[in-house]
Amino acid sequence: MATPSASLTATERILAVAACGLVAHWIFNRREPSDFRVLFALLFVAPAVASQLLFPLYGIFSGFLLSFFVYHTTLLASIIIYRLSPLHPLARYPGPLLAKITRWYWTLVALRGRQHVETQRLFELYGDAIRVGPNEVWFRDPAVLQPMLGSQGMPKSATWQGRSLNAPIQALIGIRDNASHARRRRPWTRAFSSAALRNYEPVIARRGAQFVELLAEKKRVDFGHWVHLFAFDFMSDALFGGGSESMQDDDADGVVSASKEAFSDAQLYENLPWVGFLVRYLPAVGKKTKLFRASCLRRGLERLRKGSSTKDLFYWLNNEDESEKENPPKPVVIVETGLAIIAGSDTTSVTLTNLVYCILAHPHVYERLQEEIDRFYPPEQDAFDSQYLSQMRYLDAVINETMRVYPVLANGTQRGPEPGTGGFVAGEHFIPEWTSVRVPQWSMHRDARNFTLPLAYTPERWLLAANLPAPPSVLDSVIATGGLVHNTGAYTPFSYGSRNCVGRNLALLEMKLVVTHMLQRVRLRFAEGFDPSTWEARIQERFNLVLPELPIVVERRV
């Protein structure tokens, strides 16, 4: 007996294959699948199965090719038409045409390290909300921080799965579910309480002294390179109680550089999550990420075996203080160590490098900072004794201003509606499910509606805003006519809300102690041949900022 399909005409058979393409679009649209296996099924298996409808009329080879052509052309055309149509839920948000059609547009911007600059350009062109991908909108508006990132805001978006190479266990920063995130964050909060912070001071002192001595001995260094090794060794001590001597052996095992590159690679996986899923199963790809993870596993297991006599970060993460009823599974603790090392070392080292660049490029700022440091910490005073830090307002201002002009996570991190909710409403904005949003710090910090003369590096603004006596600066003439604009509500170098940087206090303590000790001991200047005017143009954004070389000459003061 003939099957029902046997009576179909050629046109009907081709239309049936096209209909399969439309169904595939419907699935893409509803689910945004990133799992490579699902993509393979939709992009290869489905047209292969549909091709059987064409075999009787066109033969196996031609039927197969025709089916793929019809299926993919229909799928592509329907995706493009829908993404550009007024029916798309993000239709009201302006952006480049290509960005609305395909994620590849923004992926290429990201791979060139230019997201921060391109975002700024698009905000100027289109206004405070821009569509940078078919399902991605970025906002330059401090008013959306509270509804979108606040305690009732959105969790992390699905793209974090890609960032982590589809890891079965997410580190704190990638956990989507709000309740699980809050639970996992508790030991971190205890680890960075004011009382716990004191445990890290001797570690900062030991590593900070080693770092500054190393600078003084080497005399001419790439500051960014060595401060990263310092921050890595410090974080390893703070986390595991030791295990890394990268300052001593100049990163001989390549783990520090791997940690940095792993971060950069993740930007590709974040934009194209299916690549992340694929890389997980390809041993030859993503080697740096895997090398770094293996080192965390090794050190974590070693720390478990040896235990520790000090309250390192591992002590809190592993519930050795017994605050939680149940101990966390060991794989969870190991995953958290990877986050701690990267989040705790790359961020502070990039900020310290930018700070040194900024004070050298603005000699009057260097002089004022030096004067304050010499006043509180003359040579005979231990600069690692934190007792005067709270009075050093110019140091505070220099750090704040450095992070305003150069926020390390220039574009913040993604958020997206809770799965299964259909979408999220924030004031006038409706964010459909499967959409990602960001509120980029780089653009908000450089918006004249938030900060007077936003591109001018002027620590004095922080003193003026706090009604403290401030030395003269370029701001004075502008303020005389229009007043100071200083919107701290738009200042988010550590992000915002219940998922903000949990290590903020440790970072500030570490940076303040190291800068104070460094400037007490040595004098810095740009090395000959270095052109400071090219600095900013050469900065790349790869989740964290990636800085050019900063060659400096170091002379002992004491």
- Say whether residue 347 binds ligand HEM (CB under 6 A): yes
- Say whether residue 351 binds ligand HEM (CB under 6 A): yes
Of 83 and 207, CB closest to ligand HEM? 207
**Helix-strand-coil percent breakdown of the chain, rounded to 5?**
60, 10, 30
Pick one of 99, 507, 539, 550: the residue that binds ligand HEM (CB under 6 A).
507
How far apart are the C-alpha atoms of 475 and 479, rounded to whole Å? 6
The answer to whether the beta carbons of residues 155 and 176 sit under 8 Å apart is yes
Of 102 and 505, CB closest to ligand HEM? 505
Residues near ligand HEM (CB under 6 A), total? 24
| 3-state SS, one letter per residue, for 179-201 | HHHHHHHHHHHHHCCHHHHHHHH
Between helix 178-191 and helix 330-361 the angle, nearest 10°, is 70
Of 25 and 512, CB closest to ligand HEM? 512
Q: Which of residues 384-413 bind ligand HEM (CB under 6 A)?
A: 408-409, 413
CB of 495 to ligand HEM, least distance (A): 3
- The piece of 28-36, 38-46, 271-279, 489-497 that touches ligand HEM (CB under 6 A) is 489-497
Pick one of 120, 244, 264, 348: the residue that binds ligand HEM (CB under 6 A).
348
- DSSP of 418-476, one letter per residue? PTTS-EEEETTEEEETT-EEE--HHHHHT-TTTBSSTTS--THHHHHHTT------THH
Q: What is the CA radius of gyration of the chain?
A: 27
Pick one of 262, 502, 513, 539: the residue that binds ligand HEM (CB under 6 A).
502
- The piece of 120-128, 262-270, 344-352, 416-424 that touches ligand HEM (CB under 6 A) is 344-352
Of 78 and 264, CB closest to ligand HEM? 264
The answer to whether the beta carbons of residues 272 and 162 sit under 8 Å apart is yes
The answer to whether the beta carbons of residues 133 and 106 sit under 8 Å apart is yes
Q: What are the residues facing 431 on neighbouring strands?
A: 424
CB of 106 to ligand HEM, least distance (A): 19
How far apart are the C-alpha atoms of 97 and 108, rounded to whole Å? 15
Q: Which of residues 155-174 bind ligand HEM (CB under 6 A)?
A: 172-173
Between helix 504-521 and helix 393-405 the angle, nearest 10°, is 110
The CA–CA distances, whole Å, from 509 to 276, 314, 358, 428 equal 35, 19, 20, 40
- Say whether residue 495 binds ligand HEM (CB under 6 A): yes
The answer to whether the beta carbons of residues 315 and 353 sit under 8 Å apart is no
Pick one of 31, 72, 114, 185: the residue that binds ligand HEM (CB under 6 A).
185
CB of 292 to ligand HEM, least distance (A): 15
- The piece of 70-78, 122-130, 295-303, 495-503 that touches ligand HEM (CB under 6 A) is 495-503
CB of 183 to ligand HEM, least distance (A): 11
- The piece of 17-25, 256-264, 297-305, 491-499 that touches ligand HEM (CB under 6 A) is 491-499
Pick one of 21, 162, 273, 344: the residue that binds ligand HEM (CB under 6 A).
344
Q: Which of residues 76-135 bind ligand HEM (CB under 6 A)?
A: none
Q: What are the residues facing 129 on neighbouring strands?
A: 139
Residues across the chain: 558
How far apart are the C-alpha atoms of 231 and 228, rounded to whole Å? 5
Of 166 and 400, CB closest to ligand HEM? 400
Determine if residue 501 is labeled as part of a ligand binding site.
yes
Angle at 272 between CA 80 and CA 340, to 5 degrees: 150
Pick one of 68, 104, 126, 188: the residue that binds ligand HEM (CB under 6 A).
188
- Say whether residue 343 binds ligand HEM (CB under 6 A): yes
Please give the annotated binding residues, written as ranges: 501
**Site for ligand HEM, rule CB under 6 A:** 172-173, 185, 188, 339-340, 343-344, 347-348, 351, 408-409, 413, 493-495, 499-503, 506-507
**Binding-site residues for heme:** 501
